[in-house]
C-alpha cells in the first residue's frame, strides 16, 4: 500500500506526516519512496552505466553530480568491471545489483524491497 500498487479498502496511508492515500506511484517516488520489485526491472537494451544514468537524469542535479553519483554507485556495488555491458548480458546477481543501484540513485528516504 505504501507504494500505491495496492489501494487500501479503508484507512489512509501517510508518509512523512503527509496523506498519500490517493497519490499515484510517480508522486510517491517524488516524495522519496523507492520500490524494487522482485521481478527484473533492468533496461535490457541499455548498458549498466546507462541504466543508472537513466534514473539520475530525472533528478534536478548537474551533469557532473550525476556522473559522480553513477561512479560512486558502480564502485559501491562492484559494477565497474561491467559498466559497459548490456543489461541482457548480466548474470542474475549483477542484474540485481544494478537494480538496487538504480533504486538508490533516486535518493529515496524509504525503500521497499519486494522479497
For the cut 90, the answer to whether the pLDDT of residue 1 exceeds it is: no
Is residue 104 within 8 A of residue 73, CB to CB? The reply is yes
- The ranges assigned to domains in the chain are 48-107
Entry pTM: 0.86
Average pLDDT over residues 101-108: 95
- Could you read off the pLDDT of 82-94 as tens digits, one per residue? 999 999 999 999 9
Amino acid at each position: 500500500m505504501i507504494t500505491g500498487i495496492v489501494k487500501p479498502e479503508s484507512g489512509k496511508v501517510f508518509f512523512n506526516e503527509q496523506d498519500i492515500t490517493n497519490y499515484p506511484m510517480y508522486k510517491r517516488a517524488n516524495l522519496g519512496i523507492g520500490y524494487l520489485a522482485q521481478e527484473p526491472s533492468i533496461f535490457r537494451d541499455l548498458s549498466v552505466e546507462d541504466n543508472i544514468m537513466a534514473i539520475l537524469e530525472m533528478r534536478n542535479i548537474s551533469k557532473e553530480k550525476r556522473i559522480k553519483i553513477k561512479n560512486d554507485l558502480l564502485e559501491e556495488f562492484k559494477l565497474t568491471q561491467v559498466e559497459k555491458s548490456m543489461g541482457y548480458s548480466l548474470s542474475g546477481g549483477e542484474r540485481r545489483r544494478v537494480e538496487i543501484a538504480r533504486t538508490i540513485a533516486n535518493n529515496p528516504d524509504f525503500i521497499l524491497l519486494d522479497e
